[in-house]
């Protein structure tokens, strides 16, 4: 999202503010999403948060004003926190006990590896082309 904000004319500091609000939502959301996942069930939480995450990403794609990004950043962080919390808890139940540490460590590497793969020049060019193409 910070790159999309930059495309809309935001300064680097404004993009940083977006990440601050997102991180605050993620941090404070963890206080709520963990107990909520225990109450409604981890799998339901994964599905609900994944759907919410997809809806928020779709909403970002429709925005053309910078201030709206900041309105969505906090709930986006909360949904992200719920997704991370619930997937880790679900994996803890699914992975066999003797391979649990190994499986969770690989899962922990998935996010940085995905960031590296999608920031490669071919993927970055494709993403920039898709974001910059007018409807």
Residue 127 lies in a domain: no
Residue 46 lies in a domain: yes
Residue 125 lies in a domain: no
Q: Do the beta carbons of residue 75 and residue 25 sit within 8 Å?
A: yes
SS3 10: coil
pLDDT per position in the chain (135 positions), as tens? 666 777 777 788 888 888 899 999 999 998 998 889 889 988 899 999 999 999 998 898 888 888 888 899 999 999 999 988 888 877 777 667 776 666 666 656 555 554 555 555 555 555 555 545 444
> Alpha carbon 7 to chain centroid distance?
20
Domain count, the chain: 1
Residue 71 lies in a domain: yes
The pTM of the full predicted model, rounded to 2 decimals, is 0.70
SS3 134: coil
Residue 51 lies in a domain: yes
Q: List the domain range (segments joined by +) for residue 70.
A: 2-94
Residue 135 lies in a domain: no
């Amino acid at each position: 999202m910070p790159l999309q904000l930059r495309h809309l004319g935001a300064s680097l500091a404004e993009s940083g503010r977006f990440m601050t609000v997102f991180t605050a939502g993620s941090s404070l959301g963890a206080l709520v999403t963990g107990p909520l996942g225990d109450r409604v069930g981890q799998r339901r939480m994964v599905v609900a948060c994944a759907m919410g995450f997809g809806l928020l990403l779709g909403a970002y794609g429709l925005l053309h004003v910078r201030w709206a990004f900041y309105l969505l950043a906090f709930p986006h962080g909360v949904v992200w926190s719920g997704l991370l919390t619930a997937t880790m808890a679900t994996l803890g139940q699914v992975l066999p006990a003797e391979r649990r540490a190994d499986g969770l460590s690989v899962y922990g590497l998935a996010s940085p590896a995905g960031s590296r793969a999608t920031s490669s020049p071919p993927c970055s060019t494709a993403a920039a082309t898709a974001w910059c193409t007018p409807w």
